[in-house]
Structure 1
Amino acid sequence: MGPTNLVKPSVRPTLAYLATVSLILLPFVNWVGLIGFVLLMGLCLYASGREIWAWLWQRGWVALAVALVIGTLFASDRPEALLQLSNFLPYFLLLGVLVNGLPTLPQPLAQLEEWASWLTITTMPINLLAIAEYSLMSPSAIAQSPQSPVLAWLYRLSLDENFGHRANVIFDHPNTLACYLTLVLGLNLGLLLSQSPRSERVGAWPFLGQRLRQQPLWLYLSVALILAGIFCAGSRNGLLVAIAEVVIVTICGQRHGYVKLAGLGGIVAIAASALWGGVGGRQLSVSLFSDDPRLAVWRIALEHIQAHPIWGIGLGNYKLLYVPNSIPGYERIYHAHNFWLHLAAEAGLPIAIAFTFLVGWGCYRGTRALLQTKIPPAQRWLLGGYGLAFLSCGLFSLFDVTLYEARVNLLGWLSLAVIYSAPDLLDQLSGPQAKE
């Protein structure tokens, strides 16, 4: 059974518009974007909170939330564990709001196309800034800074922490920038393959000009800029995830010869750039991977899991229990650099397994519905773009933990909500009177 109507039909476009504006502002003024989504959740809860809570209860998210709260009682540092609940509980609620709300919109796929398009467009200035920052952080530019007052002034404006020949732009770390860009890359690639003849288009969004809507040239440009931005971030993880996304699209998009050719070109460009310019100023070598401190970081997480398998050490406590310089050269380690090891170490194995099951079950149902339901390729690829975005988040989480960055966290849960709601959305599209 599909979700009930959350709000009056006259109010739904206003809520969708609020979400759109919040997503546009999110990368640049993240607290304003987050407030917009808090307001959105509040309005939906006021309109139909009973249905949303019922869905969260039936799907097991309420039980998981209660378990996380109980786990804080066993934390080494309880105030820190309570604080870190903010990285989980609000997003559980956001998932319930979006899954129940998306199918009730007048044109849900047109709304998803609009969100993906704006998220793609807003990365363009970010990537241009990343290219500029990467150039300014080159050894040759730094060597010239004493002779150039302009360069010296720019370096004084830079962040306190020096990440070397890597760009982080408006994010707190280059890896966070890379993760954000890989998420949007999935949406970008989904939009690119959803460009089909006019009769198969998902819907029109009137905010951009007719020429820009019909010509996918800007989508190719944005893909190229995103790949450049990931390279400038100097994230090995980001480059590997980007290559995986492009490979998937290249294989699945063989019916579009130009997409296949562009995908192969993108893979070659990424590999050539890494071989020629290294990764974040580090030349590719066996030691770049064999000497990775992540191996020691994972070992510490496994020790915590063995010592506290049921309730863990407490959310946010990994960084507090890390002994400075126990990994040579690293005075502070903030997380386990693997989401599942990190969650199992801090929240315990039962919660880590339950969380993985709830997410995996929603992904399974959404992917199965997407593959089995007969819909036009344009619609399939639009939804698939959100699936690709969430896949990139999952792959990135194998070697890093980005849930502490609210912008990345929100986009990850937004993508998961689209996957979760895919069966209801596809039921509408496959119905005799549901064609948009």
Structure 2
Amino acid sequence: MFIKTYNDPEYTDLKLLSLSILILPFQSFLGILVLFFVILKSWINNYKNIIKNNLSYSFIIVTVLMIIASIFAYNSSESFLGLVHFVPFFLMFLGLRTLISNYNQLFFIILPIILNSVIIVLLGIGEVKLGWQTPDLFFKLSGWRLIAYGIPEGRMSSVFPHANPLTLYLTTALTFTLALIIYRREKHKFNQIDLLLISTIILNLIGLILTSSRNGWIITFFSFIAFAIYSNWYVILQLLAFGGFIVSWASFGNLPGQNWTRKIVPSFLWQRLSDQMYPDRPLPTLRSSQWRYCFDLITDRPFFGWGLRNFSVLYEEKTSIYLGHPHNLFLMFGAETGLITLGVIMFIIGRILWQGIQALNRLKLQKSQGIILFSYLVVFSSFIIFNLFDVSIFDLRLNILGWIILASISGVSENIVKN
């Protein structure tokens, strides 16, 4: 079905979008250039439909609220600069959701991500295990670099500036790969393509282990649970629950029999989850400290906040330590733009996801088909979980990917629900 769709001349723009996603992690400038052309063409072709849609009015409201927050910000120049992380992506979302409206078009997004993950993990293994690194000139030409033994040291970061952003990309690829295997198993006998997909999952799991990211491990566990529930894999669900119980027992608190469980669970796992791997970190670098400060900022200015990008300015003044963000997108957004703006943007995203769930119910009798849309919902939920403990918007590639996935859910779901 996908090959037939791919060969359709009407899908030239989607092929360009797929190309953009394919090259984005490795050559951001070219990827963004191709993406800009696709978005511009989408706006030109669908301008009337875009501006008449309620989502357009919703994002106009959010933009106005952000501008108001910037006018009254603690540091207005920083806040107006922060608009670049949001407003262009609103326009991208509104354009792409008109382009991606057919279920089969979802494959144009997932295939380049799956392919990229293989290359990214292989580069990461060379980086963290073999000490691969790239020269400074390479960074100037490509926008990314390999640092010997990773960033932070000993943790795989590959083409990303830190291990944490890498883990979100790998969990996205892992989820899509698993969905594609299930989709294919309903339609085809097991063959070499399935073997390659299984190998990709194993490679992504190895990459996730090497990132040593608790956030990534939690998201992976959540994704497997979600697929087990959706596909009625009760035995696997029980095994996952039992495994999660044993790992939690080994990792947290001071429980009876914990020494026994720690002999079963790999030390790198329970030590990282319990935070014993990196003890005695400075108090201002702890997430709990950053989150408490965000609550204080929200309490002081609950309506329009302190301005975008102002958390870093204020936190450095208070602690003499610079942090780019408070490791929670929602607290950061509430502190910087106020609770009104946070509430509106959460309502918009919640409504889109609810429509996705409604569309999934329409496909309930076609599980092999619904699994792809389901994987999109799982992936975006993974973005939400990630942003409870980190912030993805400051990595341009992840920010683009998140809005593309949300636009895909919105465009396809609206089409399914209406029909």
Q: Please, what TM-score do these two structures have when normalized by structure 1?
A: 0.78
Counterpart for residue 32 of structure 1: 30
Q: Which residue of 2 aligns with 1:70?
A: 68
Q: Where does residue 252 of structure 2 map in the other structure?
A: none
Tell me how far apart the structure 2 counterparts of residues 220 and 161 of structure 1 sit (CA, whole Å): 26
Once the two structures are superposed, residues 312-370 of structure 1 have per-residue CA deviations (whole angstroms, 9 ceiling, x without a partner) of 111111111113683xxx82211111111010001111000111011001101111221
- Confirm or deny: 8 A CA contact 2:149 2:155 kept in the other structure: no
Whole-Å separation in 2 of the counterparts to 1:373 and 1:197:
15
Letter in 2 for 1:299: R
Change (3 A) 1:56 1:37: farther
Distance 1:56 1:12, change over 3 A: farther
Does the alignment pair 1:295 with 2:284?
no
CA contact (8 A) 2:298 2:338 kept: yes
- Three-state SS of the structure 1 residue aligned to 2:210 is helix
The alpha carbon displacement at 1:372 in A equals 3.8
Q: Which amino acid aligns with 2:295?
A: L
CA RMSD of aligned residues (A): 3.5
Instruction: Give the corresponding residue for 2:184.
Output: 195
- Give 3-state SS (helix, strand or coil) of 1:332's partner: coil
- Aligned partners of 1:412, 1:53: CA distance in 2, in Å? 22
| Partner Cα distance (2:326, 2:391) in 1 | 7
How far 1:133 moved relative to its partner?
2.5
What's the secondary structure of 1:397's corresponding residue? Answer: helix
Corresponding position: 1:111 with 2:109 = no
Distance 1:417-1:30 versus aligned 2 partners, 3 A rule: same
Contact 1:41/1:94 (8 A) holds in 2: yes
Q: Distance in 1 between matches of 2:324 and 2:387?
A: 14
Give the corresponding residue for 1:172.
Answer: 161
- Unaligned stretches of 5+ in structure 1? 1-9, 142-155, 202-209, 432-436
Following superposition, the deviation at residue 282 of structure 1 comes to: 5.6
> How far apart are 1:179 and its partner, in Å?
1.5
Alignment match of 2:310 (pick from 301, 314, 317): 317
Alignment of 1:253-268 (within 5 A): 253-254=231-232
Q: After TM superposition, give the deviation of residue 406 of structure 1 in Å.
A: 1.3
Residues 274, 343 of structure 1: CA spacing in aligned structure 2 closer, same or farther, 3 A cutoff? farther
The aligned residue for residue 240 of structure 1 is 218
- State the 1:12 CA deviation: 3.9
Match of 1:351, SS?
Answer: helix
Name 2:118's counterpart in structure 1: 124
Could you tell me how far apart the structure 1 residues matched to 2:264 and 2:327 are? 22
Q: For the residues of structure 2 that align with 1:24 and 1:256, how far apart are their CA atoms?
A: 36
- Picking from 201, 205, 209, the partner of 1:231 is 209
Q: 1:57 to 1:127 in 2, by over 3 A?
A: closer
Match of 2:370 among 380, 385, 400: 380
Does structure 1 retain, via aligned residues, the 8 Å contact 2:150–2:158?
A: no
Question: Percent sequence identity over matched residues?
Answer: 25
Q: How far does residue 192 in structure 1 lie from its aligned partner after superposition?
A: 2.1
The residue that corresponds to 1:285 in the other structure is 274
- Given candidates 411, 415, 432, the residue that maps to 2:401 is 411
Q: 1:426 aligns with which of 408, 412, 416?
A: 416
TM, length-normalised to structure 2:
0.81
The answer as to 2:329 corresponding to 1:351 is no
CA distance in 1, matches of 2:106, 2:315: 42
Inter-partner Cα distance in structure 2 for 1:273 and 1:33:
47
2:88 alignment counterpart: 90
Alpha carbons 2:16, 2:34 under 8 Å: kept: yes
Deviation string 1:168-224 (CA, Å, 9 cap, x unpaired) is 11111111111221222222222122124438x9xxxxxxxx965xx3222211111
Which residue in 2 is equivalent to 1:18?
Answer: 16
Q: Are 1:304 and 2:297 counterparts?
A: yes
Structure 2, unaligned stretches of length 5 or more?
1-7, 133-144, 249-261
Question: C-alpha offsets along residues 99-158 of structure 1, whole Å, 9 cap, x if unaligned?
Answer: 22222xxxx333212321221111001112222333247xxx9xxxxxxxxxxxxxx972
Count how many residue pairs are aligned between Structure 1 and Structure 2: 383
Q: Which moved more, 1:86-95 or 1:353-362?
A: 86-95
Work out the CA distance in 2 between the residues paired with 1:303 and 1:394.
23
Residue of structure 2 equivalent to 1:336: 326
Q: Is the CA contact (8 Å cut-off) linking 2:214 and 2:272 kept in structure 1?
A: no
Q: Structure 1: how far apart are the matches of 2:74 and 2:356?
A: 38
Higher helix proportion (structure 1 or 2) = 2
Per the alignment, residue 229 of structure 2 pairs with: 251
Whole-angstrom distance in 1 between the partners of 2:48 and 2:31: 26
Judge which range, 385-394 or 48-57, deviates more: 48-57
Using the alignment, how far apart are the partners of 1:162 and 1:298 within structure 2?
A: 24
Q: What is the CA-CA distance between 1:297 and the residue it aligns to?
A: 0.6
- 1:206-252 deviation line (CA, Å, top 9, x unaligned): xxxx965xx32222111111121111111111111111111221232
